[in-house]
Structure 1
């Protein structure tokens, strides 16, 4: 029996509505690129059949490093048609990040935008598993042009047989210790995601222009811009420019976007725009995920556009687990309720259900059909993520008497900043590579716009270096060069020592409390 393949499902939509626009892409200068479902079907067939001719096939792991645009849609669908495993990679990854992923997954193929190939070239010699290098958007020495490769293919239907349990996506997510974790999702996962999250939360309708602002390289891109939009036959709106709140509002108005999914930070900054009502935005639905959304933003959008921004919660390891669904009463600050029939609960340390109002672990029963199949090559880490039959998300929450969930914070040290998930180890590892840094610890510090920022407490080899007014900027730029720039510490404090346990472990809880107090003092000072 042939298993589910999301690419085949998109082809079925193309068969019925070939002229409907699948992807509408706009760059910073206003230039447009449109791809209909019929064109998308033909282009993905051409690429899949061409890659098959040059030796790329079922089971191979393919790292994809592409920025926003039409290309990720074509590449992801073609790779699914081939039966490969797609490894989403942010365009902000640096050579060390790429080396880790390629070596850990034994990746054999990389598809990268021409401007990103240099980071891959820097680690080629360390990664003997790599045997195919395809560039997009320009000729690069020692890389094969993906556009030229497509000339070898045919537009005739091409989809290999895949099993439901075949590995479709391998997404890496930060951990509190060690390197990022490789999260395994199967070919059936998109179907399970569409059944609930793609229908009752991000409810794109056929032909609607839907804008989900997440960029390729993140699990959230697979969730919404890719699966939830194309799987429902809607039009995926893509903007290739940098975030500017006024520009976003202009685009929402000009292209009559009816469905928006953005980060809380993006909503917060748009809500601050003076004269918000002058933009003739016609949103039917709006949703947000990544961190709790404050009441002021919800009220502002409701007042300006008569739309309620609905919150949602999920993880790379699963799908959207809890959310404010269509026509559900909004409790500002709450993440909503578990979807009907979905085994999500608040449990205690022993995996037993917590009482009403009691803070516990947000947990998912292992029977949840969209739950990941484990961390690649790491059975111990996978086993440690469970308490009995419950997968523990690492987040703490409580449930009120109406069944709504409320986020109470991380139970580990993961930092969530402006929707990005950041492991402190990765930032600390980058910082200590600087010759002036002896030791450091990184924690989350409260921030009014980003929710939290990365704050580093640094012990210098020579305390006198703290007098250098340029050192903080120097350290920040160093981190940006060593690892993905979004991880850099936006605040740095030089200290003589770090709080530690008797066994030598850093007491991050003390540093988090200190960072929160310092942020509160700074906010009070700015107001005064």
Structure 2
């Protein structure tokens, strides 16, 4: 894979990310939206931009100005795109917040960010009103979709405003987004991204990984409130001049495949969990996905079995990609070499991504270390907001440490091992949970699984697997022994799960990632 030239990723000194969308002003459809009730609408680039201009004018008239922070909590709606674009145009810093957050989460974000405004969908107002603590910086509460007592109406704020707006002049290093990490330990960290970050992201992810052209209809399933929504549904699609498909409904594997077929989707971006559930359907081959030329996955490593299903039934090679809230896409599996399927792929900027030891020093091939990003990578976050200690702690030498462990081979393909916290040390052996999970997923009885360390007085820790079975299979002792032998036949024998526990479901984050931390804690 040819590495990108990092010089082309550096934004001009005077730069506002909104210009990447404004340049596609035309009557072309920007978004096609529908929900699970069958309601639908669409909007052109020209109308979308005019609405954003009206809202930017309204926000400015209220008194919001460049550098102010705004907490935005919405869902998969066209208005979400209007809000984000309007804020960027006005130089307002967006703090994306998931619709699943509760009052205690929201008050922390409001006060930590010193947010001057809330912009939210009317159905989520109640959680803000459940806040009992003081929010001294908050001046404006704006809701949309329905009138809410004591809240400003987004529709009224923009109603009488002109359709033109002069985008606020910003520098490439000016803040654009303040995204909060999930905070599995301690309070969430505020990750600051600049307008220049967005410039680099668009030139890395959209053309190299998503493979988007202006003629494509693209479906990225992430919900607003997550950095992945900023990555793909918002920036990569609209910044490329493509048409985005937006489905506001619950995940159902049959429904997703039906949409891919009926809407003639060209590019799909969804989570490994969504791919796994689709791949497990008995009638997966009944769908026609001939219009789909690119399918990508991000969030956690994708199992080889799932990749093989899509390759076999649809002749589609899923492009597994890796990145973090603090960065953009860093590593992607863009190859078609069968021997490398199941790897993370190669770094898109090879001189900037490395495997390092605990001191931030690069280590030899085939040794496991931490994935690290060079400090001067153009699409790396600016800092953890108001937390210089955590910002400094994240770096070792010349590198930002991601906390994810992997090895690389002689061809510079990276092979995922797990989070630093997820890696299992048993009798002196270092075992990555993903490779054990990958082996288990190849067994005909396994629907989902997660592997963690379980304390053991002799070995320190042993490998334990939590397994969700497919319908028609029973969690017997015979099946436990069969699964253990099956893993031994596919991996080094010391890696097999000495304990297997059958469960109805696995704990997951709001974005669909398996929460191994919960499973680990259940062993204590």
Give the structure-2-normalised TM-score.
Answer: 0.80
Alignment of 1:374 with 2:322, yes or no, is no
Is 1:267 aligned with 2:215?
A: no
| 1:527 paired residue number | 479
Give the paired residue count: 443
2:355 alignment partner, one of 325, 340, 346: 346
- Following superposition of structure 1 onto structure 2, how do residues 8-87 of structure 1 map, counting pairs within 5 Å? 8-14=19-25, 18-87=26-95
Which of 120, 123, 127 is 1:115 aligned to?
123
Deviations 1:386-405 (A, max 9, x none): 11111000111100122110
**What CA distance in whole angstroms lies between the structure 2 residues aligned with 1:454 and 1:79?**
42
Deviations 1:249-302 (A, max 9, x none): 111111100100111110011111222222111210001011111111111111
- Indicate how the Cα distance of structure 1 residues 238 and 518 shifts in structure 2: closer, same or farther if over 3 A, else same: closer
CA gap of 1:371–1:71, structure 2 versus 1, over 3 A, is same
Alignment of 1:433-448 (within 5 A): none
Query: Is residue 139 of structure 1 aligned with residue 147 of structure 2?
Result: yes
**Post-superposition shift, 1:525?**
4.1
Whether 1:386 aligns to 2:334 is no
Preserved CA contact (<8 Å) 1:293 1:332: no
Aligned mates of 2:452, 2:256 — CA distance in 1: 26
Runs of 4+ in 1 over 3 A off after TM superposition: 326-330, 446-455, 517-528
Q: Which residue does the alignment assign to 2:464? A: 516
CA distance in 2, matches of 1:341, 1:208: 28
* Selected match of 1:301 from 300, 310, 333: 310
CA distance in structure 2 between the aligned counterparts of 1:526 and 1:113, rounded to whole angstroms: 51
| Corresponding residue to 1:240 among 213, 236, 248 | 248
Aligned equivalents of 2:217 and 2:448: distance in 1?
A: 27
What is aligned with 1:471? Answer: none
SS of 2:24's equivalent in the other structure is: helix
Deviation at 1:126, TM superposition (A): 1.8
8 Å contact from structure 1 (residues 209, 259) kept in 2? yes
CA contact (8 A) 2:32 2:40 kept: yes
Shift of residue 241, structure 1, vs aligned partner: 0.7
Q: Report the Cα distance in structure 2 between the residues aligned to 1:326 and 1:33, rounded to whole angstroms.
A: 37
Asked if 2 retains the 8 angstrom alpha-carbon contact of 1:47 and 1:149, the reply is: yes
| Match for residue 332 of structure 1 among 311, 333, 341 | 341
Q: Is the 8 A contact 1:43 1:74 kept in 2?
A: yes
Shift of 1:196: 1.3
Contact 2:449/2:466, CA 8 A, preserved across alignment: no
SS of residue matched to 1:516: strand
Q: Which of 325, 328, 338 is matched with 1:319 structurally?
A: 328
Q: Secondary structure at the match of 1:155?
A: coil
**What's the counterpart of residue 200 of structure 2?**
192
Residue 183 in structure 1 maps to residue 191 in structure 2: yes
What is the rounded CA distance, in whole Å, between the counterparts of 2:448 and 2:70 in structure 1? 32
Matched position secondary structure for 2:167: coil
SS at structure 2 position matched to 1:161: coil
Deviations 1:112-151 (A, max 9, x none): 1111111111226421111100001111111111011111
Alignment partners' CA distance in 1, 2:274 and 2:478: 23
Residue in structure 1 matched with residue 503 of structure 2 by the alignment: none
Structure 2 residues not aligned, in runs of 5+? 1-11, 424-439, 481-524
1:527 CA displacement: 3.4
Flag the 1:102–1:195 CA change in 2: closer, same or farther, 3 A.
same
Query: 2:363 and 2:202 mapped to 1: Cα distance?
Result: 29
Superposed counterparts of 1:154-193, under 5 Å: 154-193=162-201
Q: Which of 64, 88, 91 does residue 99 from structure 2 map onto?
A: 91
Q: Secondary structure at the match of 2:383?
A: coil
CA contact (8 A) 1:95 1:122 kept: yes
| Residue aligning to 1:130 | 138
Q: Secondary structure at the match of 1:52?
A: helix
Secondary structure of the equivalent of 1:188? Answer: helix
Contact 2:450 2:465 in 1 (8 A): no
1:488 matched residue in structure 2: none
1:395 aligns to what SS in structure 2?
A: strand
1:398 to 388, 404, 407: 407
Give the superposed CA RMSD: 2.6
The residue that corresponds to 1:290 in the other structure is 299
